Structure 1
Amino acid sequence: MQIRYLLALSLLPQLVLAEDSTQTIDAGLQCIVEPPVPRLSSTSDDQTALEQQEIRIISNRSEAEMGKQATFNGNVLFSQGQRHIAADEAILDQKNERLDANGNLIFQDQMITITADSLIAEMRSNSASLWGAQYWMHGQQIHGDAEKLEITSDNNLHLTKTNFTTCPPGDTSWLLEAETIKIDSTEEWGELWDAKLKIGGVPVFYIPYMTIPVSEKRKSGFLFPELSTSTTNGVEIATPYYWNISPEYDLTLTPHYMSSRGLFLKSDFRYLAGESQQGQLNLEYIGSDKMLTDSPDRYLYHWEHKGAINENWRVMANFTNVSDNNYFNDLNSDVQRATDNQISRIGEISYFEQNWDVTARVQNIKVLGGDEKPYQVMPQIGLNYRAPDFWNGLDFGLTSEASNFQHEDSSFTTATRLNFEPSISYPIHGPAGSLTSEVKLLQTYYWQDVNESNGNDELASFVNRTLPQIRVHGQVNFERFTDYFNENYRQTLEPQFQYLYVGYEDQDDIGIYDTAMIQDDYFGLFRDRRFSGIDRIADANQLTLGLTTRLFDEHNVEAFKFSLGQIYYFEDSKVGISDPLVPSSRLTQENTSNSVLAAELSTKLYKDWYVSGAIQYDTKQSENKKSEMTLDFRPGANKLLQFSYRYVPDLLNSNTNESVNISQAGMRGAWPISDSWYVVGNWYYDLNESRSVETYTGFQYESCCWAVRLSYHYRIKTNYDDNFNPVLDNRELFESGFYLNFVIKGLGGSGPLGVSDMLNDGLFNYRKPLYLKN
């Protein structure tokens, strides 16, 4: 028969260990190791405090002498809250407050399962010892053996002659053996003494002392080194050290040695400022670059900060500076990619209310490797106000700004600009479509520092520009049910139009401070501006017509989308970007009856084949102004083949002020060779120059407990005219190199290696066709 005892004694302290943050990224790996023992019965999570303290004892047979000793035999189960012990036999010494249990012993709580040969629990000291123990952390991969396992009175765990791994049982890909392991349940970190790391059963590393995480809590220590080799940097090895300064601050120091250049030092300091603000400070330095003759010090410093002061105030700052133009091209910075040639420095503070907001900002942009030096915004103050449905369905809006433009070159004009854009609109929305009518006034004032000695006498010292704008935009939604290729679909037909009128005013007496052309595409046909910024507002008297059709399958997933549109000009635009102080600037006003014909397509061709493309075609000159297309084959997780092509004629190179044609074809792929092996590669070819611009091949093996990746890069290398001399004349146009990444999961590595970051590792990132899903 079963005997039940209810005792008001504390059995064992609960060991609190948070779950490991290591997770597998790629589908197909089932890595959670569960203990090969049955889950003991548990009580409800919403127990009362008294029920949490009660000990329930169930057994087949029992003998007890009041106040002395009780013996339990056969399927013994001790329970206290979420903690359970199962054994064949147990003896409870009530006088000495001691519990002895043995035979098929299992200890479980919410976080850990332990099997052991025997157990002794001391009630007075609130501690327990288990011999011949095996343990498993719930919901994690961590498990191991211990000759002796002790649960101390302060809830810590001590293991003697022990080991652990994150590999499945029977897999000895890696195993860490230690004489002693102590796990602090408060700090949630483990300390190891006299440890040996075995890979494939072979000892490869002896560690007198080390610490390991058993939760997401941070702790100081070395991270896994990174090893690579390349034609420009030689053999590279980086050994990051992480310093957990406090809960609000941490610092990563990375000595990065390059055999061809020297020692490159990097630091990344992160901080929290209260509950809603955070930031980081990066410092990088190489004292003498051996690749450069008489190299000066090369350095970077970067600071960024963002967050909310309270529910209304927001702040943001971002500042970066480098020693030379080729810094990002030559060195593996943690701040910016080599393909970026602009450094933006911004400081901003904003205040938000329900119907209005105000923002103050300063901005400076540094262009690397070119003669272009943009204006500095010092400062800019913007005020926006919104009053929806303020009278009989009318919406009122106001955007305004006051900007001061400075330039480091004294020959350039400085200016102050004040702009107001009040608008009244009447929106009508419904399931069948929408119609929005808007009237806007564009009022701008300029105060320009005109200095005839600097050659800027063509500009006016004061400009008052007033332009009216009328915009009417409408769209109708039709839909029907149809079938194609024996599949049922819901098809939509969405014609739309926009009439836009903007008044004309000669603006050649205004300098160009923050204005440039906007890239054309289908959605750009329905903008009310041709330029970014407001130094030039193009006059317009035009009608835009567009049509979009979509197909949705039975699961309401978009399987096809096609858009086609064009602008028809009733009058030629007379305003373009032409800065009288910059001879290389190009006149860009429209002198044609219509714009380019813009079309975009996204469709699922058949099963796992997808096509995405866009084109801007000049119907008057019969010229292709821009086109791009991708063909994707995506049959499953981490399976991808993509073929792409893009063509852009007359693209202005900001560094040389010369026009170039871009005509590039490429292919990219990722494929699993098995459940653990993946191969990723890409190849891009410049059809104009008849040369490869990037090649990437990567092989990756990933199991539940370790991962390794070997990759090869060959890519074009940007080289700028630098601001120090002399520079080696043989600066390479192309760079190639091998890179090795290795992670042992569960030992504080950087986490599992994923296929997604391999697809994005290069000059050209993988882009999935828009609006379409597998």
Structure 2
Amino acid sequence: MEKRRAGEGIEGCERATLVDNRFYKSPRAGHVPRSSTRRSTTASPRPRSPLHLIPSHRRAIAGCLAAGLTTAAWAQAKPPVIVDAAEIRARPDLDVVAEGDVVFRQGQIEIRAQRLSYDQLGDLARAQGKVSITRDGNRYSGPELQLQLQRFEGFFSNPSYFFSRTQAGGDAQRIDFLNEDVAIASGATYTSCPREGPDDPAWLLSSRRVKMDFANNEGIAEGAVLRFYGVPILAAPVLSFPLTDARKSGWLPPTMGLDNKSGLLLSVPYYWNIAPNRDATITPTVIAKRGVGLGTEFRYLEPGYEGTLNLNMLSNDRLTGRSRGSLGLVHEGSLLGDGFYRAHVARVSDDDYWKDFPSETPSLTPRLLAADLRANKPVFGDWRTYARVLRWQLLQDTSNPIDVAPYDRLPQIGVRGSQRLFGGLEFALEGEFNRFTNPDGNLQPTRMTGSRVHALGSLSWPYVTPGWSLTPKLSVNAAAYSVDQPLTSGDRAGRTQFGRSIPSFSLDSAWVLERDTQWSGRAMRQTLEPRLLYVKTPYSDQGGLPNFDSAGKDFNFDSIYTDNAFSGIDQVSDAHQVTAGVTTRVLDADTGAEALRLGLAQRFLFADQRITPDGAPFTQRVSDLLLLGSSTLSSKWKLDAGLQYSPEIQRTVRSILGARYSPGPYRTLNVAYRFKREESEQVELGWQWPLYGRPREGMNRGNGTTCSSAWYTVGRVSYSLRDSRITDSVLGFEYDGGCWIGRLVAKRLSTSQVEATTQLGFEIEFVGLSRLGTNPLRVLKDNVPGYRMLRDNNSLDANRPTAP
């Protein structure tokens, strides 16, 4: 046998780079490794892998085989193969032996062993002694690897593995390769917890036998058991799962919940991968006090449109004695050119549905559910046409009825745009037709209905310089009506067709003045921003006219600089007034971050205002004074304040005070006080704070594990000082055990002065694997300002269906 020292070439090579040796070539011409199989280019919805509890580690083991070993089977000669060893011996056409710290490299793959041999006659490769494979940060090791390359038959004895993406791993008794597409792992385990002494890790997932078919992207596990502190909490005799991130039909982990009205809820979702661009999640649910329900989510993504359909059904609610359900649809698509359309539909079976199933009422206003279809298409330049059909469902409550409901629009059709004219003039116009009808559930069946055509036009001439701007504007609000019931009052009494036109003139002037300064040695920039707005709108008698869509604007810093006190079209306030205000800001000269903002604004009237939101003439010559302030002088503190002061009664009418203290990661304390004279007075407290143990200090460890553990508390409480009761609240505790996180969250939602719905959710997150229980993260994010997840959401997807 011919001997060579490490680094000497073979057959004339200067290094032990055996690219031309059959040992390192593809055993099958044209074969492509499974790890580089071409993905489908068809657009598809967000991936949601089924049965996340098991596939995470099975897919990880599969990654070891598909990405690590099959590619390491030297299926292609590109990129080149490099072998380094203390000693390399070769007999032409017979065998090759490398010994002593053998390192095999091909691309991102690295195999290390004490001895590596290849028998060319038997096409058999053996690696022995501290065999390890590294690829893409994943590590696999064992005492012996034996592989017949062309047939890809062999075994890896007693392998252990660690996966960088999940920061978790495990071991197996043996992995057998039946061919290049099929492998079997025996006695496999998976965990992200470190072993501490002879005790088992905090959680451990084990399986008696795992068969992996890479050609069909399918794995089958037998005898899979998840143990938590040695106690089996979930088992499956046989299950299937995908071997890659590709979606696959299958069962998702069960979810559980508890509330004071429905009792215990248990859901077992099933994921159906219909097509690359369509999928569905079907969720049977057992509700202790009500019966069995079924929830369905269907998602689709086509070249010209996409959408989601949610349907929840409860065939026989034992508490109410009737069938109940909800429907939610979001569908949008493109029209010819740059146009688009969108449909948003929300419907429920009964008035009490929002109270009994608050998580299934898909609306920001749970008692006003819309069926809204709209389309928008450009015509030319900045001009667009649009159309809309809108119908409301009102959920009435006898203890708190909705007296004034919004109108249905059947339909709404219009055109809107602007045009720059000669000499810097700007022209804008909106023309629209609406047919208004009363929605179902309206408590005023005799309320006026009818049609309206309106036009909002304006001609402005803005003059803008770097520090000053002046914008005169002439506008008109014109509307023509055709109503179904004759007017009963005013000059137009008895008529069903009428119109009105109201002009308005405004002059808006604003300044931005700056100066450089220093605060405690920091370079800062201070601005002074005065603003004046003059508005002249003549009085027009609108008594007896219908009011289809107008409402008084909230009095704040945005609305005080507008020329109409009403939103919508039907109501136009008369005005002869000037609004004056000033704002000053202090900015960091380097970053532009705002450290301080102070402002005030007030309106001065030259004549009485006869058309007002509350219906009573406004005879004062000055409006309420608005004050605002916010500060972020310290990275730990943020302060906000707003105040509305009435000169007439010399008292505060409304005020908002808020403070947030955030000294570090996972430490946030929010306090807010809200007051509105003769209506409400409320205090709100929100927090996320460590209670005990060694908390995480903001290190972005992804799904990394640590032996430290800590308790956290999180919540938000709203208390009404006027009613002396808690209105809404969320209270939770989180435990970070390093490789697992436990969450217990209770939510209380007031549905009336005397009723409330309370829900309790519990979840265990096995870091690097999945979550079991009810997912409370959305509740915490929506209700606790500044809430941060204890770990990055790099574990498997937690967006699972909820109970109907």
TM-score scaled by length of structure 1: 0.83
Q: How many residues align?
A: 708
Are positions 1:465 and 2:494 aligned together?
A: no
Q: Note the C-alpha offset of 1:487.
A: 4.7
* Structure 2 Cα separation of the partners of residues 712 and 744 of structure 1: 21
**What percentage of residue pairs aligned between the two structures are identical?**
25
Q: Are the equivalent residues in 2 in contact too, given 1:10–1:126 (CA < 8 A)?
A: no
2:685 corresponds to: 667
* One-letter amino acid of the counterpart of residue 666, structure 1: E
Map of 1:283 onto structure 2: 311
SS of aligned partner of 1:392: helix
* Gaps in structure 2 of 5+ consecutive residues: 1-5, 8-15, 38-45, 49-59, 62-67, 69-74, 397-401, 697-709, 788-804
CA distance in 2, matches of 1:537, 1:632: 40
How far apart, CA to CA, are the structure 2 residues paired with 1:59 and 1:606? 59
Select which of 289, 300, 306 maps to 1:260. 289
Aligned to 1:627: 655
Q: In the alignment, which residue of structure 1 is the partner of 2:801? A: none
- The one-character-per-residue Cα deviations of 1:594-653 (angstroms, maximum 9, x if unpaired) are 222112211136552221121222222324332211121111122111111111246xxx
Change (3 A) 1:717 1:402: closer
Q: CA deviation at 1:317?
A: 0.8
1:98–1:433 Cα change, 3 Å? farther
- CA distance in 2: counterparts of 1:397 and 1:628, whole angstroms: 37
Tell me the distance in 1 between the aligned counterparts of 2:405 and 2:490: 18
**Structure 1 residue corresponding to 2:765, chosen from 743, 746, 750:** 743
Matched, 1:378 2:410: yes
- Partner residue, 1:359: 386
Matches within 5 A, 1:49-198: 52-110=78-136, 112-126=138-152, 129-150=155-176, 153-154=179-180, 157-168=183-194, 172-185=201-214, 190-198=219-227
Decide whether the 8 Å contact of 1:522 with 1:563 is kept in 2. Answer: no
Aligned residue identity for 1:667: L
Shift of 1:587: 1.5
Q: Determine helix, strand or coil for the equivalent of 1:760.
A: helix
Alpha carbons of 1:132 and 1:459: their partners in 2 closer, same or farther (altered >3 Å)?
A: farther
Distance 1:141 1:593 in 2: 69
Pick the aligned partner of 1:230 from 230, 245, 259: 259
List aligned pairs for 1:381-530, cutoff 5 A.
381-388=413-420, 390-407=421-438, 411-451=446-486, 458=493, 460-484=495-519, 487-530=522-565
The match for 1:16 is 35
SS class of match (2:632): strand
**Maintained 8 Å contact 1:277/1:309:** no
Moved more, 54-63 or 750-759: 750-759
What amino acid does structure 2 have at the position aligned with 1:105?
V
Q: CA-to-partner distance for each residue in 1:144-172, whole Å, 9 max, x for gaps?
A: 21222345655565322211123356571
Q: 1:373 to 1:534 in 2, by over 3 A?
A: same
CA distance in 2, matches of 1:152, 1:560: 69
Distance in 1 between the 2:85 and 2:363 partners? Answer: 66
Task: Please state how far the C-alpha of 1:428 moved relative to its aligned partner.
Answer: 3.2
- Mapping of residues 679-698 of structure 1, within 5 Å: 679-698=713-732
Q: Does 1:616 align with 2:652?
A: no
Q: Give the AA of the match of 2:394.
A: V
Quick one: distance in 2 between partners of 1:115 and 1:672? 39
Deviation of 1:704 (Å) = 5.1
Aligned mate of 1:218, from 243, 247, 265: 247
CA distance in 1, matches of 2:453, 2:653: 36
- What's the CA shift string for 1:437-457, capped at 9, x where partnerless? 322232322222234799998
Show structure 1 runs of 5+ residues with no match: 23-33, 36-41, 43-48, 578-585, 651-660, 720-731, 769-774
State the Cα distance separating 1:494 from its structure 2 match: 0.9
* C-alpha spacing 1:454/1:337, structure 2 compared with 1 (3 Å): same
8 A Cα contact 2:475 2:505, kept in partner: yes
Amino acid paired to 2:649: Q
8 Å CA contact 2:761, 2:774 repeated in 1: no
Does the aligned pair in 2 maintain the 1:362–1:377 contact within 8 Å?
yes
Conserved? CA contact 1:21–1:215, under 8 Å: no
Q: Find the aligned partners of 1:231 and 1:456 in 2 and give their Cα distance.
A: 57
Question: Alpha carbons of 1:127 and 1:326: their partners in 2 closer, same or farther (altered >3 Å)?
Answer: same
Q: What is the match of residue 368 of structure 1?
A: 395
Q: Which residue identity does 1:355 align to in structure 2?
A: D
Find 1:564's aligned residue among 589, 596, 600: 600
Deviation at 1:394, TM superposition (A): 2.4
Q: Partner residue of 1:312?
A: 338
The one-letter amino acid paired with 1:10 is K
Deviation (angstroms), 1:525: 0.9
- Aligned letter for 2:290? R
> CA 1:456–1:502 in structure 2 vs 1: closer, same or farther (change >3 Å)?
closer
CA gap of 1:52–1:572, structure 2 versus 1, over 3 A, is farther
CA-CA distance at 1:548 after TM superposition = 0.8
In 1, distance between residues paired with 2:576 and 2:250?
Answer: 66
Code of the residue aligned with 2:35 in structure 1: it is: V
Partner of 1:653: none
CA offset at residue 695 of structure 1? 3.9
Query: 1:638 is matched by which residue type in structure 2?
Result: Y
SS in 2 for 1:329: helix
Deviation at 1:713, TM superposition (A): 3.8
Equivalents in 1 of 2:405, 2:187: separation in Å? 66
Match of 2:701 in 1: none
Supply the distance in 1 between the matched residues of 2:215 and 2:593 (Cα, whole angstroms).
48
Deviations 1:402-451 (A, max 9, x none): 11112357633332222222322223334323332322232322222234
